Amino acid sequence: MKRLEVKFYDSNFMHGWEGDTKDDLAIVTAIGYVKSENEKQLTLVMAYSDFGLKFAKLTIPKPAIISMKEARLK
């Protein structure tokens, strides 16, 4: 599986009463293995096994992605 480092805008969700809080979006950097990708989204997993199991799935909408680069071991 290909490893990527993905920088993206995260959503900002608040619930209930709030004061004068920022409405900014956090910029997040995630590193993971590409499980699947299409024109709408990219799905990364943190780990996978030889039994076909996958751990900690994260799906990111393509419009939220700022940058992607392949993560290589040295």
The pLDDT tens digits of the residues spanning 22-68 come to 888 999 999 999 999 999 999 999 999 999 999 999 999 999 999 99
Rounded to the nearest 5°, which phi and psi values hold at 3? -100, 135
R_g of the chain, CA atoms, integer Å = 15
Q: Model confidence at 13, in pLDDT bands (50, 70, 90)?
A: confident
Q: What is the torsional sign of CA 64, 66, 72, 74?
A: negative
Domain locations in the chain as residue ranges = 3-11+26-70
**Percentage above 90 pLDDT, the chain:** 72
CATH entry, 3-11+26-70, from 3.90.830, 1.20.120, 2.30.30, 1.20.144: 2.30.30
Q: What is the torsional sign of CA 48, 62, 31, 3?
A: positive
Residue 18 has pLDDT above 90, yes or no: no
Q: What is each CA distance from 6 to 29, 62, 64, in whole angstroms? A: 6, 11, 10
pLDDT at 74: 73
Its pTM stands at: 0.84
Tokens of 48: 């996978």
